[in-house]
Structure 1
Amino acid sequence: MAFYNLCDAIRVSTRTNPAYGFTMKRFLSQPLLMLLTIFLSCKEKAVDPTKRVRPVTLQIGVSGAFYDLSWEPNRVVCVTAPCPDLADVEAQEYAVQIAKSELGTFQTYRILDADEKSIRIPASEMGEQIVARIVSKNKGTPSVNSNLVMASTAFLSQSAYYPGFGFLEDVSGGDVTPDGAKATYTGLVQETPGTYVTPLYVATLQNEQPIAKKLVNRQGAGASFSPDGKQLAYPSRTENGIIVYDLAAETSRTLPVADASRIGSVAWSPDGQWLAYTTVSSEESRLWKIATSGGSATPLTPVLPVRESNYIRQSFLDWSPDGKSIAVSRARTDNSNDNWRTTVSLYSPDGRGELSHFETQPGWIDTHPSFSPNGKMLAFLSSRTDGLTKSYSLWVRDLTTGQVRQIKLLPGLNPSGEFAPRWVGNERLIFSAVVQGKKGYYSVFL
Structure 2
Amino acid sequence: MTSPGYSVFTFHGVLQPLYHETGLHTNKSGYGFTMKRSLFRLLPVFLTLLMACKEKAVDPTRRVRTVSLQISVAGTFYDLSWEPNRIVCITAPCPDVADVEAQEYEVQVATSELGAFHTYRTLSADAKSIRIPAADVGEQLVARIVSKNKGAPPANSNPVMASTAFLSQSAYYPGFGLTNDVVGGDVTPDGAKAVYTVLVQETAGTYATPLYVADLQNEQPITIKLITRLGAEASFSPNGNQLAYPSKTENGLIIYDMKTATSRTLPVADVTGIGSIAWSPDGKWLAYSTVSNDESRLWKMATSGGPATALTPVLPVHESNYIRQSSLDWSPDGRFIALSRARNDNSNDKWRATLSFYSPDGSGEVRYFETQPSWIDTQPSFSPDGKQLAFLSSRTDGLNTSYSLWVRDVATGKIRQIKLLPGLNPSSDYAPRWVGNERLVFMAVVQGKKAYYSVFL
Q: TM-score, normalised by structure 2?
A: 0.91
Q: Which of the numbers 409, 422, 425 marks the counterpart of 1:411?
A: 422
Q: Which of the numbers 54, 62, 73 marks the counterpart of 1:62?
A: 73
SS at match of 1:41: helix
Equivalent position of 2:181 in the other structure: 170
Contact 2:170 2:453 in 1 (8 A): yes
Instruction: Give the aligned length.
Output: 429
Equivalent position of 2:363 in the other structure: 352
Give unmatched runs, 5+ long, in structure 1. Answer: 1-17
Structure 1 residue 78, shift from structure 2 partner: 1.9
CA distance in 2, matches of 1:232, 1:339: 39
SS at match of 2:63: coil
Equivalent position of 2:84 in the other structure: 73
Structure 1 residue 399, shift from structure 2 partner: 1.1
CA distance in 1, matches of 2:135, 2:97: 36
User: In structure 2, do the counterparts of structure 1 residues 384 and 85 end up closer, same or farther at CA, with 3 Å as the change threshold?
Assistant: farther
Contact 1:92 1:114 in 2 (8 A): yes
Q: Which of the numbers 171, 193, 202 marks the counterpart of 1:191?
A: 202
Map residues 201-212 of structure 1 onto 2, 5 A cutoff.
Answer: 201-212=212-223
Write the deviation string for residues 108-144 of structure 1: whole angstroms up to 9, x where unpaired: 1111111111111111000010111111111111111
Write the deviation string for residues 340-380 of structure 1: whole angstroms up to 9, x where unpaired: 10000000000000001000011000000000111111000
Q: Given residue 333 of structure 2, which amino acid in structure 1 is its aligned partner? A: D
CA distance in 2, matches of 1:28, 1:172: 87
Equivalent position of 2:158 in the other structure: 147
Structure 1 residue 23, shift from structure 2 partner: 4.8
Q: Given residue 261 of structure 1, which amino acid in structure 2 is its aligned partner? A: T
Q: Which of the numbers 224, 227, 231 marks the counterpart of 1:213?
A: 224
Map residues 287-326 of structure 1 onto 2, 5 A cutoff.
Answer: 287-326=298-337
Map residues 261-340 of structure 1 onto 2, 5 A cutoff.
Answer: 261-340=272-351
Please state if 1:394 is matched with 2:405: yes
SS at match of 1:125: helix
Please state if 1:102 is matched with 2:103: no
CA distance in 1, matches of 2:306, 2:250: 16
Equivalent position of 2:38 in the other structure: none
CA distance in 1, matches of 2:96, 2:127: 22
Please state if 1:437 is matched with 2:448: yes
Structure 1 residue 445, shift from structure 2 partner: 0.8
SS at match of 2:231: coil
Q: Given residue 303 of structure 1, which amino acid in structure 2 is its aligned partner? A: V
Write the deviation string for residues 144-181 of structure 1: whole angstroms up to 9, x where unpaired: 11111011111111111110002433101111123322
Contact 2:407 2:415 in 1 (8 A): yes
Runs of 4+ in structure 1 displaced over 4 angstroms? 22-36
Structure 1 residue 88, shift from structure 2 partner: 2.7
SS at match of 1:101: coil
SS at match of 1:338: helix
CA distance in 1, matches of 2:203, 2:107: 56
Contact 1:178 1:228 in 2 (8 A): no
User: In structure 2, do the counterparts of structure 1 residues 421 and 85 end up closer, same or farther at CA, with 3 Å as the change threshold?
Assistant: farther
User: In structure 2, do the counterparts of structure 1 residues 29 and 235 end up closer, same or farther at CA, with 3 Å as the change threshold?
Assistant: farther
CA distance in 2, matches of 1:125, 1:27: 57
CA distance in 2, matches of 1:27, 1:407: 76
Q: TM-score, normalised by structure 1?
A: 0.93
Equivalent position of 1:93 in the other structure: 104
Give unmatched runs, 5+ long, in structure 2. Answer: 1-10, 24-40
Structure 1 stretch 282-291 or stretch 170-179: which is displaced more? 170-179
Map residues 228-247 of structure 1 onto 2, 5 A cutoff.
Answer: 228-247=239-258
Contact 1:286 1:301 in 2 (8 A): yes
CA distance in 1, matches of 2:82, 2:18: 46
Structure 1 residue 35, shift from structure 2 partner: 6.8
Q: Which of the numbers 255, 263, 286 marks the counterpart of 1:252?
A: 263
Question: Percent identical across equivalent pairs?
Answer: 74
Over aligned residues, Cα RMSD in angstroms? 1.7
User: In structure 2, do the counterparts of structure 1 residues 92 and 230 end up closer, same or farther at CA, with 3 Å as the change threshold?
Assistant: same
Write the deviation string for residues 424-443 of structure 1: whole angstroms up to 9, x where unpaired: 11111110001112211111
Equivalent position of 2:37 in the other structure: none
CA distance in 2, matches of 1:24, 1:255: 94
CA distance in 2, matches of 1:29, 1:99: 57
Structure 1 residue 28, shift from structure 2 partner: 7.9
Structure 1 residue 85, shift from structure 2 partner: 5.8
CA distance in 2, matches of 1:89, 1:53: 5
SS at match of 1:387: coil
Equivalent position of 1:364 in the other structure: 375
CA distance in 2, matches of 1:358, 1:27: 71
Contact 1:75 1:85 in 2 (8 A): no
